Amino acid sequence: MNPNSVDNYMEFAHRALSLYGLRPTHVEFIRHSENITYRVFTPAGDYLLRVHTPISPAFGSHGADPATVNSEMLWLAILCEHGFPVPPPVRTRDGKYTAHLDNHNLTMLEWQPGEQPTREMANNVAGEMGNLVGRLHQFASTWKPPHRFTRPTRDAAFFEDAMLSLWPATQDGRIDPQDYALLQNVITWLSGELRNQGPSRERFGLLHGDLHRGNFLLDGDDIRLIDFSMSAYGPYAYDLGTCLSNITPTQHNLFLENYTRHFALPESFHRTVEACFIASWVVSFSLNISDPESQETLIERVSMVASEYASRFDRDKRFWFSD
């Protein structure tokens, strides 16, 4: 596939759909990010076709490993079996969750209806998000993955590597060295915390990995959770830091009250969640550091995160929670 040709994207998609025995009425290219994605329209319902080829190496190489891709699908299947509102995986004609075409790994999911919540969401929506994330973490903390189940890990080394990837931007003037130092202090603290905690089912497990507002869907009174392609093993606080950043601070307590109905928070979780929020920005910056179209936004946001959040963290001042 030529990544610069939408026509080639579409030709590839139609060949891929034959592996699933689908006869679409229409195929719509969505985007190329961590995956290449298409919406597939059929008389029986709509589907999401994914080609696990990232637009940038910064997204990781796990999409090239069939076992890692298949593990995401197994995880979704298990969650569906236990009543979680997540996209059901679709098998190929020969009964497999992962297909292969021209050296690319492919997966198919049932399309999920709904609209993304806005930042000005109603309190009941924020509360239901807390319920869903709490249920997910509780389940992940007790579930025993099958043999050869594998997903990436977001551990201390992962966050340190993401931080290091930003260093060249201090040399060419895109990132102020003082801003870099503020962000690095947070990552150093978080890395030490993660290493000191060690393996703990209460703190570290299988995450959604990308819990921003756009991966929740409102469908009437129901709320759904989509896009597990970045799922990984890591601190549950990372999911919380990402999710809380998409909810107004006045709704944080409501979210966490509902979350803790299902999964307890460790003592002194506040600083770790805030560090993970900043770390999620560092990860985002690392994904965009080499994208020419993202540089203006990158420069603005690095400065904002460093001055508004990392500087306060460095002074041991909370920005979301009271001391």
Q: What gap in Å lies between CA 75 and CA 310, rounded to an integer?
A: 34
What is the domain class of 123-314 according to CATH? alpha beta
Q: In terms of CATH, what superfamily is 6-110?
A: Phosphorylase Kinase; domain 1 (3.30.200.20)
**Lowest pLDDT segment from 84-93, 214-223, 255-264:** 214-223
**If you average pLDDT over residues 117-122, what whole number do you get?**
88
Residue 2 pLDDT class (50, 70, 90 cuts): very low
In the predicted structure, residue 114 carries a pLDDT above the cut 60: yes
Position 3 scores a pLDDT of 40
Helix residue spans in the chain (DSSP H): 6-17, 66-81, 123-142, 156-164, 167-171, 177-197, 236-244, 252-259, 269-288, 295-305, 311-314
Asked whether 262 and 134 are in contact (CB, 8 A), the reply is yes
Position 185 scores a pLDDT of 97
Residue 23 pLDDT class (50, 70, 90 cuts): confident
In the predicted structure, residue 6 carries a pLDDT above the cut 60: no
**If you average pLDDT over residues 59-88, what whole number do you get?**
93
**If you average pLDDT over residues 102-110, what whole number do you get?**
94
In the predicted structure, residue 5 carries a pLDDT above the cut 60: no
**Alpha-carbon distances, residue 95 vs 52, 118, 121, 196 (angstroms):** 19, 38, 40, 43
Domain with CATH 3.90.1200.10 in the chain: 123-314
Comparing 257 with 32, the larger pLDDT belongs to: 257
**Alpha-carbon distances, residue 51 vs 31, 98, 176, 270, 319 (angstroms):** 11, 10, 37, 37, 39
Position 4 scores a pLDDT of 43
**Lowest pLDDT segment from 5-9, 74-78, 244-248, 274-278:** 5-9
Smallest CA-to-CA distance from 234 within 264, 273, 271 is with: 273
Proportion of the chain above pLDDT 70, given as a percent: 97
Residue 32 pLDDT class (50, 70, 90 cuts): confident
Q: What is the mean pLDDT of the chain?
A: 91
Q: What is the pLDDT of residues 215-244, one digit of tens each?
A: 999 998 899 999 999 999 999 999 999 999
**Lowest pLDDT segment from 15-19, 55-59, 111-115:** 55-59
**If you average pLDDT over residues 28-54, what whole number do you get?**
92
Q: What is the pLDDT of residues 274-309, one digit of tens each?
A: 999 999 999 999 988 888 888 888 899 999 999 999
Domain with CATH 3.30.200.20 in the chain: 6-110
Q: What gap in Å lies between CA 195 and CA 191, rounded to an integer?
A: 6
